[in-house]
Amino acid sequence: MAYLRGERQQTSLFPASLEEYVGAKDPVRVYDAFVDQLDLQELGIVLDERQMGPPEFDPAAMLKLLVYGYAYGIRSSRKLERALYHNVSFMWLMGGLKPDHKTIARFRRDHRVALRNVLGQCVRLCLKLGLIEGNTLFVDGTKIRANAGMRQSWSPERCERVLKETDKRIDALLKECDRVDEQEAADGSLVKLAEEVESVQALQTKVKAIARELKESSTQVFNTTDPDCRHMQGRQGTHAAYNVQSVVDDKHGLIVSSDAVSDVNDRHQLAVQTEQAQEILGKPCQTVCADSGYDYNPSWKKLEEEGIAVVVAPNPQGPPGPITKDKFRYDAAQDCYVCPTGQILSYRRTYKVNGVRTYATSEKVCRNCPQKSACTKNRSGRTIARMPLEEIRPVVEARYRSAEGQALYARRKSRVEHPFGHIKRNLGVQAFLLRSFEGVRAEAALLAACFNIRSMMTIFEVGGLRLNLQTP
């Protein structure tokens, strides 16, 4: 059978311009039109054609490069530079400009605030096109590694251990220096020992500074590469990471708000993230839904008082068994609990750390109760813990267990977890490239904006979305 073989020396007539290389329905034209309709000054990018010094690359073109690159998982400045030489869509997008990787990295580093603001303008565009309603919001979080290693993380225990080791090492080196000084003064080994002593002393000084930083701050772990990241447990183990929060609208699953926090869990984030999303939307939402990781009474109470219905899967209260905490009735007037057999559990104490109040009855009463074996295994009897603002729990639990609440909660996964899956799996984002809250939040917001653009292309198709973007 015959084979088709190429000919590298074959003379070809290429198109006269880059414009002819990119079709009318190529997705790159959507990203080009999207950045063109952004207000660069509002983003925080200063435009000055009369500035002194050598000419710079057009900020709009550099922003297009980052947005388009992030949308397809090309985030490294070196890979972006390589694409400008080998990828026709990148060549067309930049109009033939070829900034090097240092220029790309510097632009991204210097415009972190602007990159974070891209998501806000993207959301306003979605509101204008009717793609976001802002009535029902879903909140969720995921762990993404920081641009830092675990070996650069220091705890008070590690500082103390290393300081003891350095003290011993310095003592041993000084003794060795004395011995060499007496026996081998002319030998170069004394110089090497002096250099090692200096190196160990430098490490000791560094660790002491880290120990002071830990003592002055409220953190338990300090990472010298990226001080804002924390040790977080994920499916792939414990890493230096950030907790990335995302707020998604119910209509088309578009991201309204994105944030990165150092909290190792989502417990305190429901009210905070909802308020940030409402600020971007410019209006209050009606319902907010999240998983059991957001079980926190103060957040529920705050949102309910603002007129926002909370739908959150509650965590089980108290130990498992036939007689769970919900079988006990709380008497607010007497500040006590009444057990299923009618016995009174009176107030005992309040923990200052978390404000939890405990209630219990006498050991004798519990011991003689016929249902003790089903109620508790504690010899002292059953104890009930009451969290602060626990009166809000029955309201949220009833709403969650209703038919409407279950339908909304079932829809939550397909809305709020889908963007994380796209960013982590399709785009291959396993770690951030930038450091500190400012850099990480900029990357998270840029990835969220890219996800929205991709979803908008699915809704309108490329031609329809280009027309909507170009319409004033």
Tens digits of per-residue pLDDT, 323-344?
A: 888 888 888 888 899 998 888 8
Q: Residue 3: what residue type? A: Y
The phi and psi torsions of 153 (rounded to 5 degrees) equal: -95, 135
The 10 Å Cβ neighbour count of residue 445 is 23
Residue 472 pLDDT = 59
pLDDT surpasses 60 at 179: yes
Q: Are residues 28 and 123 in the same domain?
A: yes
Question: What would the pLDDT profile of 272-281 be if each residue is shown by its tens digit?
Answer: 999 999 999 9
Give, to the nearest 10 degrees, the angle between helix 270-281 and helix 297-305. Answer: 30
pLDDT surpasses 60 at 393: yes
Q: Are residues 368 and 397 in the same domain?
A: no
Contacts 24+ apart (CB under 8 A), 292-295: 293/141, 293/265, 293/266, 293/267, 294/139, 294/266, 294/267, 294/269, 294/270, 295/267
Residue 471 pLDDT = 67
Please tell me which residue, 41 or 219, carries the higher pLDDT value: 41
pLDDT surpasses 80 at 376: yes
Structure tokens at 247: 């707020």
Q: Are residues 29 and 106 in the same domain?
A: yes
pTM: 0.85
Tell me if 87 is assigned to some domain. yes
Q: Are residues 376 and 404 in the same domain?
A: no
Predicted confidence band of residue 126 (pLDDT cuts 50, 70, 90): very high
Using CA atoms, how far apart are residues 366 and 377, in angstroms rounded to an integer?
A: 10
Cβ 146 vs Cβ 153: under 8 Å: no
pLDDT surpasses 80 at 162: no
Question: What would the pLDDT profile of 59-99 be if each residue is shown by its tens digit?
Answer: 999 999 999 999 999 999 999 999 999 999 999 999 989 99
Q: Are residues 28 and 120 in the same domain?
A: yes
Q: Are residues 400 and 385 in the same domain?
A: no
Q: Are residues 305 and 367 in the same domain?
A: no
Predicted confidence band of residue 178 (pLDDT cuts 50, 70, 90): low
Cβ 290 vs Cβ 341: under 8 Å: no
pLDDT surpasses 70 at 225: yes
Q: Are residues 430 and 460 in the same domain?
A: no
Domain that holds residue 81: 18-130+452-470
33-42, 210-219, 281-290, 292-301: lowest mean pLDDT where? Answer: 210-219
Tell me if 330 is assigned to some domain. yes
- The closest of 286, 280, 258, 221 to 448, measured between CA atoms, is 258
Predicted confidence band of residue 270 (pLDDT cuts 50, 70, 90): very high
Give, to the nearest 10 degrees, the angle between helix 112-128 and helix 436-470. Answer: 40
Residue 191 pLDDT = 61
130-144, 183-197, 268-282: lowest mean pLDDT where? Answer: 183-197
Tell me if 74 is assigned to some domain. yes
Element holding 338 (H helix, E strand): strand 336-338
| Domain boundary residue, one of 369, 389, 409 | 389
Cβ 114 vs Cβ 44: under 8 Å: yes
Structure tokens at 366: 């519990």
Using CA atoms, how far apart are residues 171 and 176, in angstroms rounded to an integer?
A: 9
Using CA atoms, how far apart are residues 384 and 389, in angstroms rounded to an integer?
A: 15
Element holding 274 (H helix, E strand): helix 270-281
Residue 281 pLDDT = 94
Residue 190 pLDDT = 54
Q: Are residues 107 and 163 in the same domain?
A: no
Helices (H) and strands (E) in the chain, counts: 17, 13
Predicted confidence band of residue 183 (pLDDT cuts 50, 70, 90): low
Tell me if 226 is assigned to some domain. no
Sheet holding 336-338, edge to edge: 329-331, 336-338, 344-350, 357-360, 383-386
27-41, 130-144, 312-326, 371-385: lowest mean pLDDT where? Answer: 312-326
pLDDT surpasses 60 at 152: yes
Query: What is the residue-wise DSSP string for 200-254?
Result: HHHHHHHHHHHHHHHHHSS-S-EESS-TT-EEEEETTEEEEEEEEEEEEETTT--
Using CA atoms, how far apart are residues 159 and 371, in angstroms rounded to an integer?
A: 52
Tell me if 227 is assigned to some domain. no
**Tokens 């809704």 found at:** 459
Please tell me which residue, 172 or 468, carries the higher pLDDT value: 468
Predicted confidence band of residue 452 (pLDDT cuts 50, 70, 90): very high
Predicted confidence band of residue 322 (pLDDT cuts 50, 70, 90): confident
pLDDT surpasses 70 at 302: yes
% residues pLDDT > 90 (the chain) = 52
Tell me if 364 is assigned to some domain. yes
Tell me if 234 is assigned to some domain. no
pLDDT surpasses 90 at 24: no
**Helix, coil or strand: residue 72:** coil
> How many domains are there within the chain?
4
Q: What is the mean pLDDT of the chain?
A: 87
Question: What would the pLDDT profile of 28-40 be if each residue is shown by its tens digit?
Answer: 999 999 999 999 9
Q: Are residues 307 and 333 in the same domain?
A: no
What 8-state DSSP symbol labels residue 268? T
Predicted confidence band of residue 170 (pLDDT cuts 50, 70, 90): low
Tell me if 229 is assigned to some domain. no
pLDDT surpasses 80 at 6: no
Structure tokens at 442: 């900029």
Structure tokens at 231: 């040790």
**Helix, coil or strand: residue 145:** strand
Mean per-residue pLDDT for 400-421? 94
Q: Are residues 42 and 97 in the same domain?
A: yes
Q: Are residues 111 and 60 in the same domain?
A: yes
The torsion defined by the Cα of 179, 182, 183 and 184, in degrees rounded to 10, comes to 100
